[in-house]
Each structure stands twice: as C-alpha cells, then as structure tokens.
Amino acid sequence: MNLAIDVATLASINFLLGLGIVTVYKGTRILNFALPGVILATAYLTVTVASHAPLVVALAAGALAAAALGALTFYVGILPILGRPTYVGILTTVAIGFMLESIVTIIWKVEIRNLNLPSASFTLGDRLVSSDQAIMWMAALGAGILFGVVYRYTRVGLWLAATADENLLARQRGIPVMMVLLASFVIAALLGYVVALLLGARQGVTMALGSAALRGLVVALVGGLDSVLGAALAAVLLGGVEAWVVQTDPRLATVVPYMVLLAVLIWRPWGLLGTPEELERV
Amino acid sequence: MAIAALVAAAIVPFVFDTYYLSLLNLVFIACIGAIGINITTGYAGQVNLGQAGFLLVGEFVAGAIAIHIGAIWANFWIAAPAAMIAGAAVGVIVGWPALRVRGLYVTLATLAAFFVIQYLGLRYIEYLQQTLKTGIDIKLSALDLLFMTVSSERSWYYLLLSVTVVVIVAATGLAHTKAGRAWQALREHELMTEVMGIDVAHYKLIAFAVGASLASLAGMLFGFYHHSVNPEAFTVEVSVQYLAMIIIGGMGSIAGAVLGAAFVVLIPYGLEWVLDTFNAPSQFLIYFSAVRLGVFAFLMLIFLLLEPEGLIGLWERIRRFFVLWPFRFQPLEEKRR
Amino acid sequence: MITGITEPSQPSLQVADVTVKFGGLLALDNVTVDVPTPYLVGLIGPNGAGKTTLINAITGVAKPSSGHVVIDGKDVTGKAPSQIAHMGVARTFQLPQAFGHFTVVETMMLGAHMMLKYPWFAGVLPFGWARREEARVLEKVEEVIDFLELERYRDKVVRTLPYGVQKLVDLGRALVPNPQVLLLDEPSTGLTREEKENMARFLLRLRYERHLAMLWIEHDLELITDLADRLVALCFGQVIAVGEPKEVMRTPEVVSAYVGAAS
C-alpha cells in the first residue's frame, strides 16, 4: 500500500510534466528545454507574492506568469527561427531555460521557501495521505483524460498533427498555425506550473524543482514523444522503478530514470508507444 | 606567416607572467573540448548537452591511470590515448540512438549520459577512497613526457599549446574532407544526404565518437593540470558553457571554436571586474556562477537569433563592410583565385 | 529530333507495379514506368499526383508496399537510400538551397562522396591518401563545373547565387558521381525562360553525350513535350497515359486531368 501510494504520486508528477513536453512536441516537433526554468521562476514568484497577498492572488499571478513565460519562449525562441534546422530550436529553448534559472538564482538566492497551500489529510489503508498528494493524482488523471479526449476527438488534435507534419499545407487550409504553436507552449507552461505548485507544497520551493522538471523530458521520451498514453505508461514505469530503488539506494534513485531513458533509447529509440521515425520532406 | 605565429607562441611564456599563462592554459584545454563539441554539434548538428560527462570520462581515466598504474611516464603516454579511446567508446554508446532517430532524442541521451557518468564516477571515487585510503581529494601525480616533466605553468603552456595545435590541424583536416562535408550535409537535411549515397547513421556515430574523444582528452588534461580528480567541478553549467563557446564563436568552424573557447574562458574575469567597479549588489558576486550562466545563455540566444555564424561570421561581415565600402555587395565578376 | 544515334537497349530503370501507401492514402497505385538508356522520360501530372513520391520510391526514401524497383537488372526494392545511390541512381531536389552554406566546389565534392574511397579518419593528416583522392576527384568536379559553365561561380557560397544557378549547382552535384540513372525533380520550376532554356540545353547534352537514363518531372508541358522521348502522365497515383509526348498530350485522360485540376 505504501509503495502504491508513492508510485501513484511519483507517477502523477511524472505524467503532468511529460504531458507538457508531449503537447509542445506534437505541435512543433520541438522539445521544450525551457520548461525547467519556467517552472522555477513561476514557483518562486508564487511564493513571494503569497507572502504579501492572499493565496488566490498569488496563484493567479503565478498562472499568469507561467502563461507569459510560455508565450515568451515561443516568441523569442521559436518564432524567429521557424524554418531553420531542428537543433537551433533545441538550443534556443536551452538558452531561455538557463537564463530563467540564472535570474531566479540571483533574485531568490537559492533559498528554500515554503509554499503553504491549504491542506488536509485522510487515511488510505494505514497510511496518512495529504490532500495535495490526492490533488496531484486527480490532476494527473484529469489532465490525462482531458488531453487524450481532446487529441482524439476534437479538431485540436488534427490541428497539432497537421501543424507539425504539413506546416505549409496546414496554413493553406486555414489552420491558425501560429495560434496552435503559441497555445501549445502556453499549455505546457501551465501544466508545469501545476506541478511546481504541488511539488513546492510538498517539499518546499527549491532550485531542485528545476531538475525535477527535467523528469518531464525523460518521461516524454521513454513513453514516445507523440503519445499521451505512452507518457502515462512511462510515468507509472519510472515512478515504480524510482519508488522501488529509493528504498535501497536513494542516490541511485535520482539517476535511475536516466538509466531507464538510455536503455529505452538504445533498445527502442522512439519510445515505448511512440511512432517510429516520421519522414522528413525532400 | 605560420612560422611567425610559431615564434610568437614560443616567446609568449617569457613575456607574460604566470597568472596570464594559467589563463592561456585554461583556454587551450577549453579549445580542445570546444573543437570536440563543435564536431558533434556544430558540424553534425547533434546537440550535445552532456559535454561535462564526456570531460568527466577523461578525468576518471586520468585518475585511474595515475592511481592504478602509478608509473609517471604513463600519465601522458598511456592516459592520453586511453582517455581518447574511452571517450570515443562512451560517445558511441550515447550516440547509438542517433542510428535510428533524429536530433531531439539524442540530445536527451547526452544529458542522461551525463547524470549516469557522474553517478558512476562518484561511486568509483568512493571506492578509491575506501579501499586505497586516498583521502577525500584524489591527488594526481605530475605529468611526465619522458623528455620533460610538466609541472610549471610554462611547461604546461608548451604541452597544451602543442596538443591544441595538433588537434586544430587534425580537426581542420577532418572538416575539409569527406567526413566534414557529410556532417554538415546531414546537419542540414538527413534524408537528402542519405539520397546522395552517404550513410548518415554511420557519420552521426563518428561525429559522436570524435567529439567525445576530444572532450575526454580535454578532461584528462584538466585533471592533471589541477592535480586532482574533482567530479563536482563538472556540472550541467559546464555543458552549457561548451555549447556557448561554439555558438558564440561560430558553429561549424574550427576557428570559431577556438575563438569561442577563449571568449567563454576569459569573459567571466572581465565580468567580475565590471561587477566590482560598478558596485553591483552583493548577490551578483555571491551568485557569480549564476550571473555567468545567465550571461552565457543570453549570448547564446542572441547569437542563435542574430548571428548564427558567431564571432567568425561577425568578423567576416565587418571585414566585408570595410573592404567593399562604400558599396554593400560584392560584384559577381571577380578575378579567379 | 535526332534519335538514330541513340536507340534504347534494355531499360536502366524499371518501376514495376509499385504501390506506395501513406496511412490510408494511395500515393502510388500499381505504377509501372520504364526508363531505357539513353531516354529522356518526362513525368507529368497535376499537383498531388504522386510524381515526387515516385522518385522517392525509386531512391528508397518511400518504401513500396508492393511492386519492384529494378536498376540495371538488379532488384533494389527495400534497400537503403544510400545503397541505391551506390547503384548509380542520382536525383536533384525541388528546393536546392538545403546545402546552401557550401561553396559551389564544396557542394560538388559533397556529391562526389561515393567516389572517395579513403577511410574518413585519413582526412586527419594534411597529406597522404585522403589528399591524393580529394585531388583526383576534384579534377572530375572541375569537369562538371566546366560542363555546366559554372566557372565564374566556382568559389561562391551557393545560397548567395541566383536561383537558376543554384538549380544548376544541384544538377552538377548529382552528376559528379557519374550516375546511370538521373532523376530530376522539377529542374526548371521557378526559372526564367532564359534559365529554363539553358537548363534544357544541358539536359539534352546529357542525353546525347553522356547517354544517361533520365526521368524528368516537369510542369512546363510545352517544354517537356518538345524535349522528352517519352511521356508518362500520373494522376491520383495512377499512370493515365504513356508514350510519344504529342500523343500523350492529346489523350482525353491527360486533357481532362489538367482541365479538371485547373477548375
């Protein structure tokens, strides 16, 4: 039971982060390496505002900042380089992410801040479960179902696929390509923000949130970059392995997701449920 | 021209004092690593976020050879080839996914490899500390080339200068022959490159092997230069610095890598001076590494967006401006070389 | 038209009943095309007919779900694109600027990759094996540069050149390794009348002097009808007409395909 609860929580975090990455990838064929920086900045901002103003205001400010930073990543890092080779997009998002990280360090001085969300707890079996853990499970489940449904049954999924695969054709057919791209960055940032809040409430807001956010990239790749179901599967798998290893060697536990990633990339590079290699255009 | 440069380079240690020589030595080590990552990332377009990991491989090889073999001549003549071979092997493992998938996946593989190498390395260090009682710091003996011992800044200068020159010549050779052209072509468009009869997967793997092997060589030299194995010095920030070197200097250009290495190694000293003179708030000095990271990330972004060919491209443009002035464009009819 | 000196022997390129599917879409449906040496075969058809897909199927970029691609009597279906290139198949690209940062000579040396037999690491040395091979192949490259009259652009960066010249450089890049079969993906699209005639002149010289088998995708119907030995018309992935260019242009299917596409 204990293990199951730990796995559920880790898996939920993993999944929400992975979903952010998958969302951007589906629309742009770009991995958003700026996400760790965005998460750090919004988490620290929320804590700071919360110490001067009501919590609701802080949450709203944080969400607004997340959306703004997501949009900023797009406008500064992606829009100007559309049409250039993929590696340029990787590098611009990396640069934006580290700029944010640097700014956060200078402003907030790597301090640990507490984020007090209203919380309650209840027992599940013989284990005390806090409400933020439960919220995390719900958020992951809700987001998973929502995104799964949206991608499969609405035009948004088609738009994302069309934007990524046939950018020119998509524009000619009247798909608001720029809006789709922008929206996918904003949504990814907001998803990241939700995780930042929940993680921050549990273990305090620290610089470690940034490396936790890297986990999202790992989850997305292990699952298969274009698959929501794959992200879910990978989230559970990685959560399970991590919860299991942490009992014997806590230091190994922080590295084990990366070992899983390397193994998966060598054995099945497109991820557990990803599509094997989409063709480039000649 | 080349002879003049060599003479100048030979005189340098007698003109500058030790402090400036040590800066130059750091630039040389950075040059070797930067040329390596420029082959993987600048030429072949495979973004490497794990350069620190490849450097670490070299440092661990340095430690292993110095401690396990213990013969002082082995510190260079065995450690250097061993570091390069180990680096190439790790590069091949990390680049393996590149055989079947494209850039994005491989980038994260490099980052994952960094964390795994760091973990394994730390375990190895712990093993040494416990079994060999080496103490917390693992001290490395001096380098010996058989004909000379390398310990003073001046002797390091000559050694690092020679190694850097050899690396520059070799890398330039690769860049201007079939491997270099294949890398640049696959960076721009893998499928079109494949259709020209070039085995893209093969060349991607080579790019990883060569890049990682040079990084590992740099890491090995770094270890002996500082007389210690210190994995904590190699963080993600180091990987970003190396990316910054080639982006600022000029991706896909050996000269760019050299220029970028010098820039990235030296700029922090200038930055410190600026912060000092302008009485910046104390946290800028306390969190100097963050300031540095921010500045490099910012420069990376600016160069990527505005001058993708880096300082080398900028220099070309400035030169052209003055050569052509008052005209903007070169006439098409121009004398053959 | 002079045809007496160049009667076709066996087809250098045979596409037999090739079907290519993208998802549920039939991009090519049982397509059969023969390109004998030294014929210039024109490939026409409205947008989306599957012309580029056919070239992709021949070069191994698109995998046929059924049918065969035969080069010089050898079945190459399912082989990797780089292997097929080694069999003597070269192609030009619709948009040639992908490798625009190279100079003209470098671009052609890139095209000559297959002719360079030294192992890649031999390039490390500033003398020896690699340099000798490079010098030998450079002579071959200079011949192609001369042939295409590109001397004045020799050391220019490709993307700074006029579009028509870029197309010629791309053709040269494909010609350097001495291909038996040359696939041309819209070589004249986007060119001025003058540039088009220039390009056509080179292609005809290739046909008569170098005896290449060529498959030429072309939108300029007038141009291709004049120059091709044979025309193949594709529409919605199917071959709707094959044969003597003027006759193909008169077939009701071709006429209606173009009129239908236009309306």
Chain B CB contacts of A34 below 8 Å: none
Average pLDDT of the residues of chain B: 89
Domain boundaries, chain C: 1-88+179-191+207-263, 97-177
pLDDT level of residue B151 (50, 70, 90 thresholds): confident
Contact between C146 and C202 under an 8 Å Cβ cutoff? The reply is no
CB contact A125 to B (< 8 Å): no
pLDDT at residue number C114: 93
pLDDT at residue number A97: 93
pLDDT higher than threshold 50 for residue A282: no
Mean pLDDT value of segment C113-117: 93
Proportion of chain B above pLDDT 70, given as a percent: 95
Check whether the bond before B326 is cis (ω within 30° of 0): yes
Proportion of chain B above pLDDT 90, given as a percent: 53
Mean pLDDT value of segment A73-85: 87
pLDDT higher than threshold 80 for residue A83: no
Compare C45 and A173 and report the one with higher pLDDT: C45
CATH class of C1-88+179-191+207-263: alpha beta
Average the pLDDT over each of A59-68, A250-259, B99-108, C43-52 and give the range with the smallest value.
B99-108
Average the pLDDT over each of A59-68, A152-161, B295-304 and give the range with the smallest value.
A152-161
pLDDT higher than threshold 80 for residue B299: yes
Contact A88 B41 (CB under 8 A): no
Mean pLDDT value of segment A93-117: 85
pLDDT at residue number A108: 85
Contact C120 B336 (CB under 8 A): no
Chain A CB contacts of B46 below 8 Å: 87
CATH (domain of A10): 1.10.3470
Proportion of chain A above pLDDT 70, given as a percent: 87
pLDDT digits (tens, 9 = 90+) for B249-278: 999 999 999 999 999 999 999 888 888 888
Q: What is the DSSP string of B54-116?
A: HHHHHHHHHHHIIIII--TTHHHHTHHHHHHHHHHHHHHHHHGGGGTS-HHHHHHHHHHHHHH
Which one of B45, B96, B304 has the shortest CB-CB distance to A266? B96
Average the pLDDT over each of A1-15, B199-213, C157-171, C239-253 and give the range with the smallest value.
A1-15
Q: Which residue of B has its CA nearest to C105?
A: B181
Q: Which residues contact B174 (CB under 8 A, 6 or more apart)?
A: B39, B180, B210, C120, C121, C123, C124
- Residue C165: CB atoms within 10 A of its CB come to 23
pLDDT at residue number A164: 64
In a mutational test of the B interface, the residue from A33, A106, A251 whose CB has the highest number of chain B CBs within 10 Å is A106
Say if A275 falls within a structural domain.
no
Mean pLDDT value of segment C175-198: 92
pLDDT at residue number C3: 45
Say if A165 falls within a structural domain.
yes
- B2 Cα to chain A: minimum distance (Å): 35
- Residue B326: CB atoms within 10 A of its CB come to 4
* Number of compact structural domains in chain A: 1
pLDDT level of residue A185 (50, 70, 90 thresholds): confident
Residue A214: closest CA among A91, A38, A36 = A36
Residue A90: closest CA among B194, B43, B301 = B301
- B269 Cα to chain C: minimum distance (Å): 35
Mean pLDDT value of segment C23-44: 87
- Residues pairing with A127 in the sheet: A124
pLDDT higher than threshold 90 for residue B202: yes
pLDDT at residue number A132: 72
pLDDT higher than threshold 50 for residue A280: no
Which one of B101, B102, B297 has the shortest CB-CB distance to A95? B297
Domain that holds residue A111: 2-115+132-267
pLDDT higher than threshold 80 for residue B210: yes
pLDDT level of residue C263 (50, 70, 90 thresholds): very low
Mean pLDDT value of segment A236-261: 89
pLDDT level of residue C196 (50, 70, 90 thresholds): very high
pLDDT higher than threshold 90 for residue A229: no
Average the pLDDT over each of A173-182, B122-131, C73-82 and give the range with the smallest value.
A173-182
Mean pLDDT value of segment B145-154: 84
Residue in this structure with the two tokens 């893209």, named with its chain if needed: B200
- Residue B221: CB atoms within 10 A of its CB come to 30
Average pLDDT of the residues of chain A: 82
pLDDT higher than threshold 70 for residue A113: yes
pLDDT higher than threshold 60 for residue B6: yes
pLDDT at residue number A15: 87
What is the rounded CA–CA span in Å between residue B192 and residue C91? 10
Q: Which residue of B has its CA nearest to A96?
A: B297
Q: Which residue of C has its CA nearest to B209?
A: C121
CB contact A258 to B (< 8 Å): yes
pLDDT at residue number C4: 43
Amino acid at C207: R
Q: Which residue of A has its CA nearest to B237?
A: A98
pLDDT digits (tens, 9 = 90+) for B10-19: 888 888 888 9
pLDDT level of residue B117 (50, 70, 90 thresholds): very high
Contact between A270 and B106 under an 8 Å Cβ cutoff? The reply is no
pLDDT at residue number A3: 77
Mean pLDDT value of segment C248-256: 88
pLDDT at residue number B28: 97
pLDDT digits (tens, 9 = 90+) for B174-187: 999 999 999 999 99
Average the pLDDT over each of A265-269, B253-257, B301-305 and give the range with the smallest value.
A265-269
Average the pLDDT over each of A22-31, B236-245, C105-114 and give the range with the smallest value.
A22-31
Average the pLDDT over each of A8-17, B51-60, B288-297 and give the range with the smallest value.
A8-17
Average pLDDT of the residues of chain C: 89
